[in-house]
A = this chain, B = another copy of it.
C-alpha cells in the first residue's frame, strides 16, 4: 500500500465499474474489492460480515442485484437455500451470462469455488427436453483442505 490517496487497484476497480456502465460509489468499490480478494464465492451475509457496518443491508442487496444484471457476478446454486456469488471472468454481458465452468463446494472449509478450467459436460436428455443451461455443483474436499491434511 502506498501513502497516496489511490492505490492502483482502486483505480482499476473504478475503471472496471465504469466500463460496465456503472457509476463509481464507495459500496460498489468495496464489494467489488471483496470479490477480488476472495478465492471462494461470497454470500450476502459473508459480505455483510466483511464489510462491517460500512454499508446498509439494503445497499448490499441492491449492489448484488446490479452486479448480476450487468454480468459482473453470477449466482451459484446450492441445496441449502444460501445463494453464493462469484465474479464472472468470461465476457458476461448485461442481461446475458455465459458460463461453462463447474462449481465445487468443500464440505470441510465450506467454501465454494469456480473451477474455471473444467467445462460443463453435455448431458443427454430424454426426447422433448430442450436444455439451455447446465449447472454442475460438485461437493467434496477442496485442494487446500486436502493438502493441509496430508502434511
Interface residues of chain A, those whose CB is within 8 Å of chain B, are 75-83, 102, 104, 107, 115, 117-118, 121, 123-143, 146-147
Separation of A141 and B76 alpha carbons in the complex (Å)? 20
A139 touches B133 (CB 8 A): yes
**Chain B residues with CB under 8 A of A82:** 81
Copies of this subunit? 2
A133 touches B138 (CB 8 A): yes
B129 touches A123 (CB 8 A): no
Identify the closest chain B residue to A144 (Cβ): B128
9 CB-based A-B contacts, threshold 8 Å: A75-B79, A76-B79, A104-B125, A107-B132, A121-B123, A123-B138, A126-B143, A133-B139, A136-B136
Separation of A103 and B128 alpha carbons in the complex (Å)? 15
Known A77-B77, A79-B77, A130-B141: A125·B135 in contact at CB below 8 Å: no
